[in-house]
Amino acid sequence: MDIVSIRKDWKLIESLIQNKSKVLDIGCGEGELIKLLEKNIHADSRGIEIDPKLARKAIASGHNVVQGNAEEDLSQYSNQSFDYVILSQTLQAMIKPKEMLIELLRIGNKAIVSFPNFGYWKIRSQLMLKGKMPVTKGLPYTWYETPNIHFFTIKDFHQLCRDLNIIIEKSIGLTSKGKQFNIKNNSFGVNFFTSEAIFLLSYKNYEPIKIKSSHKTFSNTSIIASQR
């Protein structure tokens, strides 16, 4: 089966990005998503990949990719270097996912994050009935060989975003069969039925609030409210 057909989240990620945007794909592999974005929405796409073999393949295919560890090397990018930063199916494999989210929105105006939902009913049922770490289509590894370090649910992710004052602009859920739905509009039971989730994130930008004093000497004073 072609890898593009396996990754149901890629077309949804593409739908969240405006044409001709500057994009960084973290954990880009051989550059398949980069290729799709460049072809379909004419994105100026870059990538970073920790696996040297995959990075070399991406570079050999003509993609603008560097080999590096995102948890150590994102500091090389200046603030707001990209319109969008993508972290697809990788957050759960990060040593410090909280710090990673902060970095995504430092170097990008918006971040797109997708991850498998550990609150999905098939995972819950395996834990309850078998008493063993679950193995599913979305989480196909046994506990001793999995690259995933942190397992978390949609509710956990929502709480982290609240703690970091991150705005969830859009949220899309996928069932194991690929059916998609708006998470925000289907809050009841969404943590139970969602196999995979995709989020569009940003910080809220506040417009300057000008407050004029009744005293003449302070008539030009303004106060700027900022989230950050």
Q: Which domains does the chain have, with CATH numbers?
A: 3-218 (3.40.50.150)
> Poorest-confidence range of 1-10, 116-125, 172-181?
1-10
| pLDDT given at position 127 | 60
Single-letter residue type at 202 = S
Res 2 pLDDT > 90: no
Residue percentage of the chain with pLDDT more than 70: 69
Encode 11-33: b = buried (16+ Cβ within 10 Å), e = exposed: ebbbebbeeebebbbbbbbbbbb
Separate counts of helices (H) and strands (E) for the chain: 9, 8
DSSP 133: -
Tokens 């705005």 map to which residue? Answer: 167
32 vs 182, higher pLDDT:
32
Residues 6+ apart with CB under 8 A from 67: 48, 49, 50, 51, 52, 55, 56
DSSP 41: H
At residue 46 the predicted structure's pLDDT band, cuts being 50, 70 and 90, is very high
